Amino acid sequence: MPSQRLDGHVALVTGAGQGIGRGVALALAKEGAMVALAGRTIAKCEAVADEITALGVKALPLACDVGVRSDVEQAVVATVEAFGGLDVLVNNAQTSVQRSLEETTDADIELAWQTGALGTLYAMQASLPHLRARGGGTIVNFGSSTAIEGNAAFGAYAMAKEAIRGLSRVAAREWGRYGIRVNVIVPNALSPAAEDFRDANPERFARMQARIPLGRVGDPEFDIGRAVVGLASDEFTYMSGQTLMLTGGA
C-alpha cells in the first residue's frame, strides 16, 4: 500500500463503476480512504468494491442515479451511516449524447443538465452538512476540455460541464469559511468510451494520441485518481476554486 495519506477519511465517488470513477475510487482506497461507490449499475460498483476490499479497505457499493435528487441524498446518508462521516466528495457521473447544435433537442440538453450540473449540485448540497460537521473537506468536480475548446457535436455536454465549473467557483467562495475546498479537474483519460473509440478506430486514435504533448492518453487511476488524492490530502489545503487541467499538455 502507498503512503496512507487519507487514512480515516471517507469518500463518496459518483459514476464509480467504471472508467475515471473507478480509477479515482481505487486511488483513494490505496491511500487509506473508505470509499462509497455510487452508480446506476450496482453490479459494476460491486465489482469495484470487491477490488477495494481485496486491498483491506472498506468499500460500499450504492445504486444511485445522480439525476434524481432523492437517490443522491440517500447515497450520502448511506455513506455517513456506514462510515461515520464524509470528507471527500467526487462528482464524476455524467450522461450525454453527441449531436450537432442544429440537431440538438431539449431532451439532449435535459439529459446532460440533469446528470451533470444538477446531479453535481444535488450531491454538493446533500454533502454540505456532513463536510461542515467534520470541520471541512474536499469537493472535486469534473469539467471537460471539449467544453473549454468548443468541440463540435458536444453542445449539450459543454453547457453542462461549463455550468459545473461556474457552480464550483461559487461554492468555493461560499463554503470556504467552513474549511471546504472545491476544485475542478479537466481530465484526458482512457474511459470506456475512449477504449471503444480506440478499438474501433485504431489509426485515428493513434493520430489523436500523437497530438498530445506527453504522447499518451491519461490513466484513470494513476493520472487522474492520484491527482484527486492530492487535492483531498493536506498537501493542497490552500487550493480552492481552481480548474486543474490534466490533459497531458493538450
Identify whether the C-beta of residue 18 lies closer than 8 Å to the C-beta of residue 35: no
pLDDT for 202 beyond 70: yes
Tell me, rounded to whole angstroms, the distance of Cα 1 from its chain centroid.
23
Question: Catalytic residues, which ones?
Answer: 157
12: left (phi over 0), alpha (psi -120 to 50) or beta: beta
Q: Which residues sit opposite 59 in a β-bridge?
A: 35
Fold designation for 10-246: Rossmann fold (3.40.50)
- CB burial string 53-87: b at 16+ within 10 A, e below: eeeebbbbbbbbbbbbbebbbbbbebbbeebeebb
Quickly state the pLDDT bin for 2 (edges 50, 70, 90).
low
State pLDDT tens for residues 45-72: 999 999 999 999 999 999 999 999 999 9
Rounded to an integer, what distance in angstroms lies between the CA atom of residue 116 and that of residue 100? 19
Residue with cell 448511506: 78
Helices (H), the chain: 19-30, 42-53, 69-83, 106-112, 119-133, 145-149, 155-175, 192-200, 202-210, 226-232
Checking if the pLDDT of 246 tops 70, the result is yes
| Percentage of residues of the chain with pLDDT beyond 90 | 95
pLDDT of residue 215: 95
- Number of C-beta neighbours around residue 118 at 10 A: 21
Q: Residue 111's pLDDT is what?
A: 98
Using pLDDT thresholds of 50, 70 and 90, give the confidence band for residue 139.
very high
Which tens digits make up the pLDDT trace of 97-122? 999 999 999 999 999 999 999 999 99
Q: Based on C-alpha coordinates, what's the Rg of the chain?
A: 17
Residue 1 confidence (pLDDT): 56
Q: In whole numbers, what is the pLDDT of the chain averaged over residues?
A: 97
| Pairwise CA distance, residues 59 & 52, whole Å | 6
**pLDDT tens profile 158-195:** 999 999 999 999 999 999 999 999 999 999 999 888 88
